[in-house]
Structure 1
Amino acid sequence: MAPSSTLGPERSRLLLLTAVLFVAYLCVAIPLPIVPVYVTGQLGFSNLWAGLAVGIAFFSTILTRGYGGALSDRRGAKLAVSRGLVVYIAGTLITALAGFLSATPLTAYLVLLAGRLLLGLGESLVGVGISAWGVGLVGPARAASVLALIGSAIYAALAVGGPVGLLLYDRFGFTGAMAISALLPGLGLLLIWRMSDFAVQSGAARPPFWGVIGKIWWHGIVVCLQGIGFAVIGAFFVLYFLDRDWSHAGLGLTAFGGGFVLARLLFGRLPDRVGGLPVAIGSLGVEAVGQLLIWSATDPSVALAGAFLTGLGCSMVFPAMGREVVHLVEPHLRGTALGGYAAFQDVAYGLTGPVVGLLADRAGYGSIFLVGAVAAVAGLVIAALLRRSTISAAR
């Protein structure tokens, strides 16, 4: 995390928001490794349907990022976060209900999808709301530091939630694991209960959502391509290990999250100092190396090292490109811009599961990590072109 001098007098409130996001995001992290195991194991469906069950939450987030951003800009980030936490609880409880219906796999699967859709809406509201709230607290000059800190909470939750989810699944079953995770957003509601929101600007002109997206399009494409590396680890790393009879399958997300958080600790302020594009270029190169290591791994330690490097590389891309996005729009449009920007990452998370699940059925689990490497290289090329055009425009 960034030192207190970076966060200024609003440090305590920003850290509290980070804690809220960590607790709430465990609702996303705990199901990630166990949903595909539940779908393929207990319900008996293929990897394609397992990938869809994971990815559909991100599709829901994609469709509601605009709503979350507009709600934050017009009525305040606190309202968006509070609504999102309530939706988290509802979605997780509906997901838990699917565990009672395992005897009728199709019904259980449809109920699972409904819960995952609500979970995606909750993620949209909470994620965009806290991002806009944090930037509103400390100002756009420190936007990358805020996004890096907030992102650390998300991936710390992933690092903890992966093994915890598998442990809960082993001890309490799918329904028990979901029911326990449904308690966590309630704690988030208690933490923000007395927090004050930042002032909302009223009366300013607000262009259509797609008009804002047009300003940040290429930056969003870069973060979308970066997200594929995490998506393949989140959806299929456990199944990849099980397929090869390797132990410690639950440590994939832990290794990824460890690398992710380490990069945020070491380099969280770097985009604000040197610019977002140089940081994104270097980070995408590291991510590509990590994905190639997993693809070529002959033992679990190499694959786990690849997951760690993937996390190290993925870590700074979102805040680095987000810094550029915040400076491309007016202050009263930051929530909308951040919501649209985050939706590009959600596209990666939503599409990757079912698409590479189909590839895994035909070509094996290793092939999907090669796709992640190619995507990272493509993002690197686009970021390099954006940097060159920015330098040319400044001359």
Structure 2
Amino acid sequence: MPVKSSHDSSGASVVATLMPVMAAVLVGFIIIGVALPVLPLHVKNDLGFGTFIVGLVAGAQFAASLISRVWSGRYSDRRGAKKGVVAGLIAAAVSGLLYLVSIWLVSIPLLSVSILLTGRAILGGAESFIITGAVAWGLALVDKEHAGKVIAWVGTAMFAAMALGGPVGTLLFNAYGFKAIALLTLLLPLLVLVYLSRMPAVPAHPHAARASFASVMQAVWLPGLGAALASTGYCTILAFSSLYYSAMHWQPIWMAFTAFGVALIIARTVAGHLPDRFGGARIALIFVLVQAAGMFLIWLASTSLVASVGAAFAGFGYSLVYPGLGIEAISGSSPQNRGMVMGIYTAFLDVAMAIGSPALGWIGSHLGLNAIFLTGALVVLSTAVVACLLLKRAASDNQKIA
């Protein structure tokens, strides 16, 4: 069992402690990242479907994540966070196998896309177990006052994987087609499982007292709502930026998402301590304004450079909105319930993705791809209202205590 040391008080030690968990998330999420820029092209060009089906295929992963999120949190609490991550990686490999089956049936587009949807759904469940288990694992390895760093750095590994996955996935797709993406999705999780066998686990809490779903939801719903609204901007870039760049004849098509991910990583590297130091809601309020400005810039862009700068602003802003609101969600929770708390909190992101992707696709099919980014910007901006409500609630609680 890992023992916390006095060195946990330093930011560098926290990062060093979390490095094995971050590495597992990094490699595990590359299999998601490689598909992001090319999946819309595969569905549209290879299978012949429109933007609504593109949004549906993208959203299937997040709908499945939503359904499995609370389950994954409870599993990590009761069976151990490491076992949660392992279960997620096994499911990810299964999704890669279904990708391969869908390719073999590409001559029957409806059947092929149905199997692809199933694979995306299983990958959504895998993602749920991987990220929920990893956050619970990280929270168990360091002291509670570093909760913001845990959420930020584990998330950084996720976005680094997706930023790296963009160019890698595009390169593989252009050279070998979607089959290369399917093979990577099948094989890479199996390699990560070998690596995880040498990593330390943390104690499970199979018999500890559990908070009820209702009590956790009461504490989490407001920061979760803010996370859902802010994550709509992430959803917009995730599902539609490659199609937008392709329609505008901008190259490379993965640049928006990579700019988003790189800016997010830089922001969390230099400013990841801010939510722990100044309060999650306050930092979320400041950074969501930056994120919204970036989304508006993409909407107004007439060149790929301006659009990519907008994506970078959006990533820089979103970088601390999610962990900032996450601190608000996890405040007051006990160690044996952190998996469930983070599972429910992250489920709000899944709601945004599951509903947002098809809804934005519908908007794009009726008003054009450009309208998708205006809609995303307006939804992101509304997160500021939630952050203000959280600040007001905190001030009211402090007055009661005084």
Q: Which one of 343, 346, 361 corresponds to residue 347 of structure 2?
A: 343
Q: What residue identity is the alignment partner of 1:224?
A: A
Q: How many Å separate the matches in 2 of 1:322 and 1:34?
A: 31
Percent of residue pairs identical: 35
**1:8-39 alpha-carbon deviations (Å, 9 max, x no partner):** 76754420110110000011111111111111
Q: Which one of 84, 89, 103 corresponds to residue 99 of structure 1?
A: 103
Q: What residue identity is the alignment partner of 2:31?
A: C
**1:89-122 alpha-carbon deviations (Å, 9 max, x no partner):** 1112212221121110001000101100110111
Matches within 5 A, 1:298-317: 298-317=302-321
Runs of 4+ in 1 over 3 A off after TM superposition: 7-13
**1:270-311 alpha-carbon deviations (Å, 9 max, x no partner):** 111111011100111001000000001111111001110110
Matches within 5 A, 1:1-395: 6=10, 12-395=16-399
**1:314-361 alpha-carbon deviations (Å, 9 max, x no partner):** 111111111122213222111000010011011112211111111101
Q: How many Å separate the matches in 1 of 2:242 and 2:347?
A: 26
Q: What residue identity is the alignment partner of 2:371?
A: S
**1:201-250 alpha-carbon deviations (Å, 9 max, x no partner):** 34332133243112110000000001110111111111111111222212
Q: How many Å separate the matches in 1 of 2:17 and 2:211?
A: 31
Q: Which residue of 1 aligns with 2:4?
A: none
Q: What residue identity is the alignment partner of 2:304?
A: P
- Cα RMSD for the two superposed structures: 1.5
How far did 1:251 drift?
1.0
Q: What residue identity is the alignment partner of 2:386?
A: I
Partners of 2:37 and 2:253 within 8 A in 1: no
Q: How many Å separate the matches in 2 of 1:118 and 1:202?
A: 26
Q: What residue identity is the alignment partner of 2:36?
A: L
Task: State the secondary structure of the residue aligned to 1:159.
Answer: helix
Partners of 1:135 and 1:143 within 8 A in 2: yes
Q: What residue identity is the alignment partner of 1:393?
A: D
Distance change >3 Å, CA 269–CA 9, structure 1 → 2: closer
Partners of 2:80 and 2:202 within 8 A in 1: yes
Partners of 1:98 and 1:175 within 8 A in 2: no
**1:123-152 alpha-carbon deviations (Å, 9 max, x no partner):** 011100010000011022100001111111
Q: How many Å separate the matches in 1 of 2:186 and 2:394?
A: 45
**330-339 or 175-184: bigger deviation:** 175-184
Q: Which runs of 5+ in 1 are unaligned?
A: none
Q: How many Å separate the matches in 2 of 1:139 and 1:343?
A: 24
Partners of 2:79 and 2:206 within 8 A in 1: no
* TM-score using structure 2 length: 0.95
* TM-score using structure 1 length: 0.96
Partners of 1:40 and 1:47 within 8 A in 2: yes
Task: State the secondary structure of the residue aligned to 1:298.
Answer: coil
Q: What residue identity is the alignment partner of 1:363?
A: L
Q: How many Å separate the matches in 2 of 1:194 and 1:385?
A: 44
Q: What residue identity is the alignment partner of 1:81?
A: V
Q: What residue identity is the alignment partner of 2:83?
A: L
**1:141-170 alpha-carbon deviations (Å, 9 max, x no partner):** 100001111111011111111111111111
Q: What residue identity is the alignment partner of 1:340?
A: I
**1:338-385 alpha-carbon deviations (Å, 9 max, x no partner):** 010011011112211111111101111111111111111111111112
**1:173-194 alpha-carbon deviations (Å, 9 max, x no partner):** 1112221232221222122202
Task: State the secondary structure of the residue aligned to 1:31.
Answer: coil
Q: How many Å separate the matches in 2 of 1:386 and 1:143?
A: 18
Distance change >3 Å, CA 270–CA 11, structure 1 → 2: closer
Distance change >3 Å, CA 315–CA 83, structure 1 → 2: same
Q: How many Å separate the matches in 1 of 2:234 and 2:184?
A: 25
Q: Which residue of 1 aligns with 2:3?
A: none
How far did 1:195 drift?
2.0
Partners of 2:8 and 2:14 within 8 A in 1: no
Number of aligned residue pairs: 393
Partners of 2:228 and 2:351 within 8 A in 1: yes
Q: How many Å separate the matches in 1 of 2:258 and 2:13?
A: 33
Q: What residue identity is the alignment partner of 1:266?
A: V
Q: Which runs of 5+ in 2 are unaligned?
A: 1-6
Partners of 2:8 and 2:142 within 8 A in 1: no
